[in-house]
Amino acid sequence: MKGRFNWWAEWMTRKKAYAYAEEKQLNEDKFNAICAGTGLPNIHQKSTFKFKDVADGAARFIGNSPSGEKPFARIYTRLGNPNTEHLEKVLFQLECQHIIDNALKKDEQTPTMASLVFASGMAAITTVILGFVRPGDAIIVGNVYGCTDSFMRFLQKRFGIEIIFVDATKAENIKQTIDAHPNVVAVLIESPDNPTLQLCDIEAISKYTEPEEIMLIVDNTFCSPFLQQPFRLGADVVVHSLTKYVNGHSASIAGAAIGPYEFFSKEVYPVYKDLGPTPSPFDSWLNSLTLQEMGVRMKHQCQTAQRIAEFLEAHPKIERVFYPGLKSHTQYALCNKQMRNGGAVISFEVKGGFDAGVSLMNFFARNDTPMELAVSLGSVISYIEHPASMTHAVVPEEDRIQRGITNSLVRLSIGVEGYSVLAEAIDRGLNQ
Ligand SMILES: Cc1ncc(COP(=O)(O)O)c(C=O)c1O
């Protein structure tokens, strides 16, 4: 909606000057170097920080930091913490290195982007939305994770925000919805979406949102910055569940949001400090540690996933496979354009429908199989789950079926176990 965000014009100038990139990916070696080479700070497991004197405390409360560190990271941990600040910086580099480089080349003096880490992915998503939403606004929502979906329905029911669910895998649907609803202020999408692994053309959607001053928010959880860097494609805000690939070991819950500095400092951060969705210092330290080898881990997971998807596609007991890295995926070309590879999540339907899927999943619930029956994804351990009764159970059945989340759909998150072990076990599970 034009004129709705007073930071839009400034952001647009900077977005055009710094954020668009011919190169859709940060070079893999540079990516791994950023991850590995940042050095880990000590753990600041504390809730409050000693000031040098009254002037120092007062300066920090108005956002001044005498030694150049993040202004609010040394007052009280709900407002920020050095461990969280460290993780925010590394994630910021991974998503925005090209923006930083371009801004430095033009001798930009003030920050363009901001990065915040949260106690969960849901905390990141809800805080960003509460940072801008007002009565009378409409938000377009694609096929999103179950709890994101139910939060949007809650906003509609409780506060009268208009939520318009659309199939965002066709960019024209977004255009038509914007044309029909002059009160649209934001579009929220996931690509690949969860769990049907359909892609949204981020660049094409941004061509529709940008002239209308509509914020394009991309949940980049399924890719992590290793597979996709949405600012290069036209996103305005990027959110993550760090619980998945960044943590990589299912050892903690965390989230992140990165976006225009003006928006984050004036609208998102005030909500953050009052809601208190702050992560613990130890979890931020832990995620900074696991982030160090994320690219190496993910490369292996994605290579295995590509082979497992091909194996499933050729398996006589499998009905259909959804994986963007397969040539048979309807958006294979788009995957090559906006992702480094097809990722490490695969969805499929087993011949025999729901019962056959349940039988396979129960096979992996056993202790002697190299996979767990569990929700979540991105871990070094492979997981198998049933979206319709688990991660997406909160989505009303009619909407679920319409989005392709059928009762027969099974979701697989590939870990680091290796192709031969996983393929052999899946084959055994299908033939039991
Ligand atoms: C795509 C996506 N976004 C957000 C979330 C929420 O993240 P968290 O569980 O860290 O709150 C999830 C969780 O599964 C997810 O899959």
284 φ, ψ (degrees, to nearest 5) = -65, -40
What angle (nearest 5°) sits at the alpha carbon of residue 416, between those of residues 412 and 421? 80
CA 337 to chain centre: 18
Question: Is ligand 1 within 6 A of the CB of residue 194?
Answer: yes
Q: Measured between alpha carbons, how far is residue 72 from residues 58, 82, 126, 272 in Å?
A: 11, 9, 21, 12
Distance from C-alpha of 99 to C-alpha of 14, rounded to nearest angstrom: 9
Question: Is ligand 1 within 6 A of the CB of residue 221?
Answer: yes
pLDDT for 70: 74
Where do we find the tokens 């007052």? Answer: 75
Q: Both tokens of residue 32?
A: 């791994």
Where do we find the tokens 């509509």? Answer: 214
pLDDT for 71: 73
Distance from C-alpha of 61 to C-alpha of 239, rounded to nearest angstrom: 27
- Rounding to the nearest 10 degrees, give the CA dihedral for residues 90, 92, 94, 98: -130
Domains within the chain, CATH numbers bracketed: 8-46+81-291 (3.40.640.10), 294-431 (3.90.1150.10)
Angle of the 28-36 helix axis to the 294-314 helix axis, nearest 10: 130
Its pTM stands at 0.96
Distance 251 CA to ligand 1 centre (A): 14
Nearest CA to ligand 1 atom 15: 145
Write the single-letter amino acid at 158. Answer: R
Distance from C-alpha of 336 to C-alpha of 275, rounded to nearest angstrom: 39
In this structure, are residues 219 and 148 in contact, taking their beta carbons and an 8 Å threshold?
Answer: yes
Question: Is ligand 1 within 6 A of the CB of residue 220?
Answer: no
Question: Is ligand 1 within 6 A of the CB of residue 118?
Answer: no
Strand partners, 216: 187
| Burial class of residue 81 in the structure, from the number of CB atoms within 10 Å of its CB (0-12 exposed, 13-18 middle, 19+ buried) | buried
In this structure, are residues 162 and 138 in contact, taking their beta carbons and an 8 Å threshold?
Answer: yes
pLDDT for 72: 84
pLDDT for 380: 98
Contacts by residues 328-334 (CB-CB < 8 Å, ≥ 24 positions apart): 329/197, 331/169, 331/198, 331/199, 334/199, 334/201
pLDDT for 393: 85
Q: Measured between alpha carbons, how far is residue 220 from residues 135, 246, 406 in Å?
A: 27, 11, 24
Question: Is ligand 1 within 6 A of the CB of residue 122?
Answer: yes
37, containing H or E segment = none
Closest CA to 343 of 197, 138, 233: 197
Distance from C-alpha of 307 to C-alpha of 326, rounded to nearest angstrom: 10
- Mutational test site, ligand 1, from 143, 147, 238, 379, max ligand atoms within 8 Å of CB: 147
Strand partners, 163: 139
Per-residue pLDDT of the chain (432 residues; tens, 9 = 90+): 999 999 999 999 999 999 988 888 999 999 999 999 868 999 999 999 999 999 988 888 888 877 777 778 889 999 999 999 999 999 999 999 999 999 999 999 999 999 999 999 999 999 999 999 999 999 999 999 999 999 999 999 999 999 999 999 999 999 999 999 999 999 999 999 989 999 999 999 999 999 999 999 999 999 999 999 999 999 999 999 999 999 999 999 999 999 999 999 999 999 999 999 999 999 999 999 999 999 999 999 999 999 999 999 999 999 999 999 999 999 999 999 999 999 999 999 999 988 999 999 999 999 999 999 999 999 999 999 999 888 888 888 888 888 888 888 999 999 999 999 999 999 999 999
User: DSSP state, 48?
Assistant: B
